[in-house]
Amino acid sequence: MFKGALFDLDGVIANTADLHFKAWQKLARNYFKAELPIELEEKTKGISRSDSLQVILDSLKITLTSTEFSHLANEKNEIYKAYLDKLTVADILPGIDNFIAELKTQHIRLALASASQNGPVILQKLGLATAFDTIVDPKQVAHGKPAPDIFIAAAQSLNLQPVQCIGLEDSIAGITAINASGAISIAIGDAAKLKAAYKIVADTTQLNLATVTAVFKH
């Protein structure tokens, strides 16, 4: 039996992934009068705010000073937090609350390993803050996803090694990070895009204790 579960947040626990890109779209319209191509959503999924902004600027062929860059990154976060104000328990993805409850009954320790700096606020709004044993501060890890740092830190914060854990993600960058950390990767979403994962489920309703235990035993 594995001992720890390392969760991404956006698109795994709650339906907040779309809100990130919605905030980036609003920022691009406000500052650059530009419409972001939809394919950028996948490229910005799972990575840090700064890395996401750089992806967007590269796409628009825009160069900013470090001061301007910092200002826009902060502005995006303010837009995103305004969207989060409306977040409730109804935004927990289907099956996740039951899955977490199953893990807790088996004394599996839970860590949040999200690139989002708003993780604590989001879990509070979802009523899940007390379910997690630890939340990794993404600002405290040297390298963001697809580097494995945040998943290694998450396991260590549970006093575990990554090999004793499963990691749950919905992004290519996140799966790459889990695999590099040594944890067992479980992807939620498109099998073609997330083929590097050890196990793929189509959606969160397919996550349950039996499924993830079987994966770890293999």
What residues are annotated to the active site? 8, 10
Alpha helices in 94-171 (DSSP H): 96-105, 119-126, 149-157
User: Measured between alpha carbons, how far is 195 from 193 in angstroms, rounded to an integer?
Assistant: 6
Are 174 and 148 in contact by the 8 Å Cβ rule? The answer is no
Q: Which two tokens stand for residue 139?
A: 């600002």
Instruction: Report the Cα 104 to chain-centroid distance in Å.
Output: 20
Angstrom distance (rounded) from CA 171 to CA 189 = 8
CA distance 35 to 28: 7
Q: What is the DSSP letter of 197?
A: S
CA nearest neighbour of 206 among 192, 191, 188, 184: 188
Structure token pair of residue 121: 């606020």
The C-alpha atoms of residue 45 and residue 115 are separated, in whole angstroms, by 10
Tokens of 38: 């939809």
Strand (E) or helix (H) holding 99: helix 96-105
Note whether 31 and 54 are within 8 A (CB).
no
